[in-house]
Amino acid sequence: MSSRKLKVVLTRRLPDAVETRMRELFDAELNLKDIPFDRAALEAAVQRADVLVPTITDEIDAGLIAGAGDQLKMIANFGAGVDHIDIDAAVGRQIIVTNTPGVLTEDTADLGMALILAVSRRIVEGAQVVADGQFEGWTPTWMCGRKLWGKRLGIVGMGRIGQALARRARAFGLQVHYHNRKPVSPRIEEELGATYWDDLDQMLARMDIVSLNCPATRETHHLLSAERLARMPSHAILINTARGELIDEAALSDVVARRMLSGVGLDVFENEPAIHPGLLGHPNVVLLPHLGSATLEARQDMGDRVILNVMTHQNGHRPPDRVIPAML
């Protein structure tokens, strides 16, 4: 590779230490105002960047990639999910795509467990009662939620985050079940005490809690359709910390309105940042603003992973987190 510093364009503000290190290593162009790139800004960026560092809010589609300059050789995504990037189009232009897997696993699993607790024990609802000055003292039958111990948790997608959530769930006495494209290894199944279901519909009908932890792909779009939501027991709760597109939000809002589920906890949304109005204003629905990886440690680690991938590419080697279509 040439000794010339790579032109690296960041589409959003990243942690100060990450940006400083990028300035030291590359010809890094920062977004100090942290204003999201519109389409015109993205089109201009791919015309001048050797490496583009986008985030989930940037739509890197086939048209954008087709219009990129010949100098663009890498899209180093700041984040694990790459459903906003057309990987096939990038591969067709011989543009390397990388992501930042692993570094946000524990934080996202923490948030998933927090949502399970919040919805089951009505924590947000109770906190609002206190904040509104309406707490009038303990009574035996008021604000009763559901215990976790002994309940069945169905995890959809037993990758890194799904397994991390399962370990936390075991500590709370939950029975772990899961649906995946294929079973995990017998060693992991034994460690987690997990029961595999090859039929998602059958699993959904038997779970007390369902957590979505799979990637967004063509196959998983609206994985939880109206028909599948209707299969869940009325006492069940639904948690999503993966991608909003996994759920048909219009169908979910109808389910919520008809009280067909006990509760819902969402950290992601189908048309983010817009939220379906039918999900708002329900005490049994906990909605968070995409906090899954929102820890100082995770964001720093994500930035460090981006730097590692870009440096490895600059040195003429294969980046450790290269994404190829077969992985999706």
Locate the domains of the chain by residue range.
Answer: 7-103+295-327, 105-287
How many angstroms separate the first and last alpha carbons of the chain?
Answer: 29
Express as a percent the part of the chain with pLDDT over 70.
98
Q: What is the pLDDT of residue 121?
A: 98
Q: What is the pLDDT of residue 325?
A: 80
The domain 7-103+295-327 having CATH identifier 3.40.640.10: the answer here is: no
| pLDDT range class, residue 324, cuts 50, 70, 90 | confident
290 is catalytic: yes
| pLDDT range class, residue 1, cuts 50, 70, 90 | very low
Same fold, 7-103+295-327 and 105-287: yes
| pLDDT range class, residue 40, cuts 50, 70, 90 | very high
Catalytic, out of 243, 276, 299, 313? 243
Domain 105-287 falls in which CATH fold?
Answer: Rossmann fold (3.40.50)
Whole-number average pLDDT of the chain? 96
Of 197, 154, 201, 145, the closest CA to residue 174 belongs to: 154
Q: What is the pTM of this model?
A: 0.92
What phi and psi, each to the nearest 5 degrees, are found at residue 226?
Answer: -55, -40
243 is catalytic: yes
Give residue-wise pLDDT tens across range 213-229.
Answer: 999 999 999 999 999 99
Please check whether residue 30 is in contact with residue 19, taking contact to mean a CB–CB distance below 8 angstroms. Answer: yes
Q: What is the pLDDT of residue 4?
A: 83
